[in-house]
Chains A and B, each alone.
Chain A
């Protein structure tokens, strides 16, 4: 039972255009969401997050949108750059109870930005 799903294994985008990465979740207890970026042979690094009380969070070229009714979030990268080429993981967590900060991750989407 995959509670966080990234249905697109890969995405290819031209430099300067918008990249949109999607993520769906099933557990209504999740109340914060994060995106991580991973280069080969490195650990994932935190990119941006959003709380369930918001529907949008922006940080420079990166914006995350949350649609709670659809249990869907997306990461927009504008404009895309070749250095953005990496694997992107969506993650979700629940702040309350005995969650202890545990995150559930999606399968990842490989983004390739062509010059």
Chain B
């Protein structure tokens, strides 16, 4: 089925460890986004990309890095995880301006 796939679905990290979350879409969408969802905060934009090889900061980018080497993949990295990064992370893709998103099913990350 066409859509957005996120891996892994769950992960527990120790403070200071690093990891990469992978997002893959097969809809040939140009735009891709990483959001985090926290209780009472809704979904907040971390980073986004408007095409292969481009990335930009969103609302809450500190502590994260991203790369979009291929159009279908958007990677989110945590270089040194902190407990404040415990959250559910959602990747989304979009055809373009004024179009809604297709979301992945999320990655639940716990940093202890």
Contact = CB atoms under 8 A, between A and B. Distances in A.
Contacts of B96: 101
A49 B100 contact: yes
A46 B42 contact: no
Contacts of A89: 42-43
Interface of B: 4, 31, 33, 35, 40-45, 48, 50, 56, 58, 90, 92, 94, 96-106
A102 B33 contact: yes
Nearest to B96: A101
Given A100-B48, A101-B31, A108-B42, 13 more contacts: A4-B42, A41-B106, A43-B104, A46-B100, A46-B102, A89-B42, A91-B43, A99-B97, A100-B50, A101-B94, A101-B99, A102-B58, A106-B42
Contact of B105 (A43, A99, A101, A107): A43
A43 B33 CA distance: 13
30 contacts: A6-B42, A32-B98, A34-B100, A36-B100, A36-B103, A41-B105, A42-B106, A43-B4, A43-B90, A43-B103, A43-B104, A44-B90, A44-B103, A45-B103, A46-B100, A46-B102, A89-B42, A89-B43, A93-B98, A96-B97, A99-B97, A100-B48, A101-B31, A101-B98, A102-B48, A102-B58, A103-B45, A103-B100, A104-B45, A107-B41
A95 interface: yes
B5 to A, nearest CB: 10
Contact of A105 (B43, B48, B99): B43
A44 B33 CA distance: 13
Contacts of A44: 43, 90, 101, 103
